[in-house]
Structure 1
């Protein structure tokens, strides 16, 4: 089991980024969350198989069609930070 935290910057709020991230994460059997941050970024926590997290990271680099990702930062995280399922905050 692996865990990673991502910070996504660009045009990522108000373009269905969190909901689309949730769909991607659930299809990859990941748990965690996607939250809007006050500075305009989206924070994503993903917990699951490393290969699935890598696939999510690749998707996050582009996001849904209406989004524009300018930067993607990845940090290590603890799998204990995620609850059951994948939620949007």
Structure 2
């Protein structure tokens, strides 16, 4: 089981700039579990699970984002195991459909 699960909302210019793919790549490199998806309000939502220090590093990276993005705000709160169940079956980290 993962050490910590965080539910993160990222706002700014984070759609149409490769932000989801960047989050997926960064999470996989860090061997984190979870998912990322766009939201219709223009934000990006992610669930990040793994060792607390690694999840914290990933959240700090989300505050910067990929080169073309502009991150205005990152909301970070505790997440539960039920959020991880939204992943695609058999995947450690998923890119989910927009909600």
The normalised TM-score by structure 1 is 0.94
The whole-number CA distance in structure 2 between the counterparts of 1:7 and 1:80 is 17
Matches within 5 A, 1:47-86: 47-82=49-84, 83=87, 84-86=91-93
Structure 1 stretches of 4+ moved >2 Å: none
Q: Does 1:24 align with 2:26?
A: yes
Number of equivalences: 89
Q: CA deviation at 1:79?
A: 3.1
The normalised TM-score by structure 2 is 0.85
Tell me which structure has the larger Cα radius of gyration.
Answer: 2
The whole-number CA distance in structure 2 between the counterparts of 1:79 and 1:51 is 18
The whole-number CA distance in structure 2 between the counterparts of 1:45 and 1:63 is 16
Q: Which runs of 5+ in 2 are unaligned?
A: none
RMSD of aligned residue pairs (Cα, Å)? 1.0
Partner residue of 2:12? Answer: 10
Residues 8-30 of structure 1: per-residue CA shift (max 9 Å, x gap)? 00000010000000110011110
Q: Which runs of 5+ in 1 are unaligned?
A: none
